[in-house]
């Protein structure tokens, strides 16, 4: 006979101590109906789902060759340089600088000066996107580089309309 037939199940339940059943049910509900535990379980499920989606997702970037990825990174840097050079350097106090790129062993490739008069938020977003793209490229293609660190400038001066770093 099956355990789940009504007659068998009723006979089994009648033989149990109701206080022990109530106590066991209370422990069960206090643990499994706990909102913190339910939230943790939900977060675990969402995390696993997200991880599976990431593992099995295919993007156009996955099919690019190493050369194509390098060209895309160079194109992004060209856009960054174009923005930085879009205004002539006439007053050094209106210029700042930031690091750009990512060497394979860590650290920036170099520094670039930019004027405050451009859309600095867009400019810095492009610099961050370039850094991330280069980090991913280096990791994906197992790039090696010299581990030298470029000297960090202390400021910018203007020379014939061009920004020049001061060290």
Q: What are the sequence ranges of the domains in the chain?
A: 6-56, 63-166
pTM for the model: 0.63
Which band of pLDDT confidence, cut at 50, 70 and 90, is reported for residue 29? confident
pLDDT, position 67 = 95
pLDDT at 2: 58
Helix (H) or strand (E) holding 34: none
The pLDDT mean for the chain works out to 86
Q: How far apart are CA 101 and CA 135, in angstroms?
A: 8
> Buried (b) or exposed (e) across 143-167, using 16+ Cβ within 10 A?
eeeeeeeeeebeebebeeeebebee
111-151, pLDDT tens digit by residue?
A: 999 999 999 999 999 999 999 999 999 999 999 988 899 99
**What pLDDT is recorded for position 82?**
96
Q: Is the pLDDT of residue 1 over 60?
A: no
């Amino acid at each position: 006979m099956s355990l789940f037939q009504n007659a068998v199940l009723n006979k089994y339940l009648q033989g149990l101590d109701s206080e022990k059943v109530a106590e066991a049910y209370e422990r069960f509900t206090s643990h499994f109906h706990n909102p913190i535990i339910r939230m943790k379980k939900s977060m675990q499920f969402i995390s696993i789902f997200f991880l599976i989606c990431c593992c099995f997702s295919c993007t156009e970037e996955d099919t690019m060759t190493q050369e194509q990825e390098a060209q895309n990174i160079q194109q992004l840097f060209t856009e960054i340089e174009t923005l930085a050079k879009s205004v002539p350097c006439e007053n050094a106090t209106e210029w700042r600088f930031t690091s750009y790129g990512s060497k394979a062993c860590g650290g920036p490739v170099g520094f670039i000066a930019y004027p405050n008069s451009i859309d600095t938020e867009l400019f810095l977003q492009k610099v961050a996107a370039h850094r991330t793209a280069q980090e991913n490229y280096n990791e994906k293609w197992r790039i090696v580089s010299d581990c030298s660190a470029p000297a960090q400038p202390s400021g910018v001066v203007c020379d014939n309309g061009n920004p020049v770093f001061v060290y």
